[in-house]
Structure 1
């Protein structure tokens, strides 16, 4: 640890000598001039080709010595130093088992019925400098308590480090298995959702991918009530992009029921956040003993037999199997020494278990860059974007009061209703934005008086409310409707106030143009008693007064609002709702 710290500190001291004096960044493709000074190849070329320097003899920006453009020499020594520095910095970030890295409780279960999201942990991990603006992959291990999840997670830590350092002996480099906590016997340590504090940084197509490891043991806990379990499942489903469902000996009916319920929740989560319910799922069957054939190929054969047996009782499991997002792996019994101790050292493993565990971990690590978190439309999420989604889901779940009769099906209906409300809200907001955008200009605004715009918006609001009412499913749908109606009424009112003020401001401004004689034909805008009759003249033509009399459609030329409001000389009075006659807003002595 001390050697690594010394190396990094030395590199920090060298940074001034590795920085281009033009862009003030570390050299990119460094070159040397005849005088011995170094610059980025692109920086010095752009400097010499700039307008000021083009007419002058090329010279060094630092010592001003004349240089020959053809004498630029790539500096391989500097490039080697920079590559070594980049390697050491990446190695430091890869070192997930360094003293600073440890498991952190992302979602804490405060009691049997309460849970909380630790925002500090969320920000520390997903807004990590290597994850905030980069794609992220979350590998989570789930299953019943005491099924070896922490054991697999800790070997995943070793596997990730081995992948980064290209060390073929990663399985046996460390004697003690360190990382996520676990204990022998029936005692359970982990509750809630835990995450490894530092990402493992891999590369795909020259782009960095931040890989996190997650323990979701609390999602299936007999010590907690169904409500907390269901909410933890929802959060872990949104968080994970590669899930490992860990079961003992064989897939039992209870395992299939758990998995079907997980998928039911994941389905609604996916609809809420525009994501696939499952991106990739590994069914890991440990302690497999009949017949003595192991690995993924044997696992696929086993899954085919399982699906023949369960028929159509688990439609969601059947669907993900058909979508090819699931694989199954059979692992043999690890050996008596591993089963009776908490160390899990490789030398204690039976040989066949050691080999199949190594192959499984290697496959998961190598495929991590393929399983970055993404939306259904293909958009790849960054750490920052995923953190926003996790916070949003947590707040939604926290607001819901399910009571003691919660079932996973009830949670699904609540998630469904949340999705329907979100879609209805977006539909109204988009409609309001469309109306607002289409009436921004003066002449577009004058085509629709406030009362007509209010009728249009109110009609859309009622249409959305009626449509939403028929889609809600939860027992609390009446309260949901009431809350939503109050919410969108505020949206409508805010737009009404804004539109009314803008409309009358536009009228006053247009009247000022007419009254001031700027338009060639005074008053040739709107007929008596009709606000903003359809105009067919472009704004530029109207502003210059050209062809106004020939092109404006309407009646009462010379007696419209133009002259009247123009005489007001900028006076503005916001009308009351329902008022339409523009003459009502002009003082009697101005008529």
Structure 2
């Protein structure tokens, strides 16, 4: 996409134009990166920056607090508001600049009127994921399609391997289908637009982006909302490893159809991520991860490409994996009917050079195979809509809560994992911890109310020891530091729950003892006195602790009598004083 500032610098000449240019630059330029604003946000003092820029700038705490880079005022770190008016202004300017560059009628088939890229999830300088809630609700809830079943197409892979390029052509095809026209990838001379892309080595998007409007496809009176997700940084080996793994996991969990974009062949990196993908799918239910498409680009044999050649290649990979035991889930996944593969040849120098991504710039064999693959993707939309754990169809309205759940799960993990499987173990251990907590809550809710507090404390303590051992025996993965942290979290939780429960139980126990005495109906002192003489109050009848509880029961009975005496005396005194 043409840089706005560069365009105006090359086209302005008059003094008035220069004045207008500088005024415009102030509105659309980020003072941190000195480039066009990307996903502009305003902070508390009113100044505007790229979301990623200000987040990175504030990623390291300073003694003075979080200061605005322009006015140096202190601002709350998380008081960041999207500036939609400015975002729309920049989008319109970019569209106008592109039309000037390409000439009249040469604009993108997917124009800003039909949507534009928005950042759904972003990472800050410390590697934390942040969910853009305003985008989330605007895209999924504020439309007439919020009740339609959804198809979520996501793509992950190494940077600068054509992910955005691929998604833009898929969007062209979807738009033609949405309009009820014949399948089309656009005109031969039409420059490619949509998600940012360019040839070279630098990535253009960070985090998870999506197209702001779904494509609505209809068939036989039914409709489906098609959402497009573009993830950058998912397999960026040179970047922050933990952020890459989290972004990959998020894309995998959210997509109903995931395209795994691979260069040349399946390598150890891709196998690692696939192993995690399939483990996560099993952990969160088979319907969470539904359909995997392995797209191998830059295939060395331009003659033997497509689905049929891919089957032969995958069969060879299966044979290799069967000789080892490092990737059991990948081996199972490659045999699954929900996993397919496609071989795509090199696109040609016209695309990888400084071209504009036009169909006429592609090698003929690449264009033919690209069209075949995209036809398969678009035709499969109806069979790959998003399902819940039970197999029920999800609508757009379900997605905000689902995505928030995924982000929360991933952000609880801050242990510096360095491999995809290590992250899976971290998440799995966290889930086991939550199950242990729920088991404790259920145990406490089903405790009887007739035991003395001392007996109850002993029973609860024994249960907690049992749960602690159960948890330590279930640890997964080699990260002992992570295990230690989780065990400490569990022990703290158990101790807090023990004190809270026993305190409440003692209070209820005392109230029940008083209520029992008041409702006996044959004289309070006689009943309590008899109970004290027996060394028990109905409430304490356990043979194994008869001696100890006898003393406690006498104490309870004596305290109850004293309490009632004092209370009744005070009540009678107030009554007579009030009557005088």
Q: If the length of structure 2 is used for normalisation, what is the TM-score?
A: 0.65
Matched, 1:300 2:274: no
Deviation at 1:533, TM superposition (A): 6.4
Residue 382 and residue 299 in structure 1: after superposition, are their counterparts in 2 closer, same or farther (change >3 A)? same
Instruction: Specify the alignment match of 1:442 in structure 2.
Output: none
Residue 185 and residue 427 in structure 1: after superposition, are their counterparts in 2 closer, same or farther (change >3 A)? same
Matched, 1:369 2:382: yes
Matched, 1:186 2:160: no
**Of 249, 258, 261, which residue of structure 1 is paired with 2:269?**
258
**Of 406, 409, 418, which residue of structure 1 is paired with 2:430?**
418
Instruction: Specify the alignment match of 1:33 in structure 2.
Output: none
Partner secondary structure for residue 292 of structure 1: coil
Matched, 1:587 2:561: yes
Instruction: Specify the alignment match of 2:441 in structure 1.
Output: 429
Residue 310 and residue 131 in structure 1: after superposition, are their counterparts in 2 closer, same or farther (change >3 A)? same
Partner secondary structure for residue 161 of structure 1: helix
**Of 369, 372, 385, which residue of structure 2 is paired with 1:356?**
369
Residue 114 and residue 453 in structure 1: after superposition, are their counterparts in 2 closer, same or farther (change >3 A)? closer
Partner secondary structure for residue 331 of structure 1: strand
- 1:389-413 CA deviation, whole Å, 9 max, x = no partner? 543443454454435x834443333
Residue segments in structure 1 that go unaligned for 5+ positions in a row: 1-94, 440-444, 535-552, 555-577
Residue 428 and residue 590 in structure 1: after superposition, are their counterparts in 2 closer, same or farther (change >3 A)? closer
Instruction: Specify the alignment match of 1:568 in structure 2.
Output: none
Deviation at 1:380, TM superposition (A): 4.6
Matched, 1:280 2:295: no
Matched, 1:220 2:235: yes
Instruction: Specify the alignment match of 1:168 in structure 2.
Output: 182
Instruction: Specify the alignment match of 2:105 in structure 1.
Output: none
Deviation at 1:224, TM superposition (A): 0.7
Instruction: Specify the alignment match of 1:323 in structure 2.
Output: 336
Instruction: Specify the alignment match of 1:244 in structure 2.
Output: 259
The correspondence of residues 29-178 of structure 1 with structure 2, limited to 5 A, is 97-99=111-113, 101-111=115-125, 113=127, 115-129=129-143, 135-172=149-186, 175-178=190-193
Does the 8 Å CA contact 1:112/1:224 hold for their aligned counterparts?
no
- 1:461-503 CA deviation, whole Å, 9 max, x = no partner? 2211111122224222223211221123323333334444444
Q: 2-side partners of 1:269 and 1:127: how far apart?
A: 27
Instruction: Specify the alignment match of 1:198 in structure 2.
Output: 213
Q: 2-side partners of 1:284 and 1:499: how far apart?
A: 61
Residue 388 and residue 584 in structure 1: after superposition, are their counterparts in 2 closer, same or farther (change >3 A)? farther
Does the 8 Å CA contact 2:276/2:424 hold for their aligned counterparts?
yes
Instruction: Specify the alignment match of 2:480 in structure 1.
Output: 475
Which moved further from structure 2: 211-220 or 450-459? 450-459
Partner secondary structure for residue 319 of structure 1: helix
Larger Rg: 1
Q: 2-side partners of 1:429 and 1:131: how far apart?
A: 40
Does the 8 Å CA contact 2:296/2:342 hold for their aligned counterparts?
yes
Q: 2-side partners of 1:580 and 1:133: how far apart?
A: 65
Instruction: Specify the alignment match of 1:378 in structure 2.
Output: 391
RMSD value, Cα: 3.8
Residue 489 and residue 391 in structure 1: after superposition, are their counterparts in 2 closer, same or farther (change >3 A)? farther
Q: 1-side partners of 2:222 and 2:446: how far apart?
A: 38
Deviation at 1:100, TM superposition (A): 6.2
Does the 8 Å CA contact 1:449/1:531 hold for their aligned counterparts?
no
Which moved further from structure 2: 424-433 or 369-378? 369-378
Matched, 1:233 2:248: yes
Deviation at 1:183, TM superposition (A): 0.8
Residue 336 and residue 588 in structure 1: after superposition, are their counterparts in 2 closer, same or farther (change >3 A)? closer
**Of 458, 461, 479, which residue of structure 1 is paired with 2:461?**
458
Residue 388 and residue 493 in structure 1: after superposition, are their counterparts in 2 closer, same or farther (change >3 A)? farther
Q: 2-side partners of 1:487 and 1:389: how far apart?
A: 27
Q: 2-side partners of 1:512 and 1:161: how far apart?
A: 77
Deviation at 1:96, TM superposition (A): 7.4
Does the 8 Å CA contact 2:537/2:553 hold for their aligned counterparts?
no
Partner secondary structure for residue 171 of structure 1: coil
Q: 1-side partners of 2:559 and 2:214: how far apart?
A: 66
Does the 8 Å CA contact 1:283/1:326 hold for their aligned counterparts?
yes
Partner secondary structure for residue 107 of structure 1: strand
Q: If the length of structure 1 is used for normalisation, what is the TM-score?
A: 0.64
Q: 1-side partners of 2:504 and 2:161: how far apart?
A: 60
Q: 1-side partners of 2:217 and 2:556: how far apart?
A: 67
Residue 526 and residue 367 in structure 1: after superposition, are their counterparts in 2 closer, same or farther (change >3 A)? farther
Q: 2-side partners of 1:492 and 1:145: how far apart?
A: 51
Does the 8 Å CA contact 1:275/1:374 hold for their aligned counterparts?
no
Which moved further from structure 2: 425-434 or 374-383? 374-383
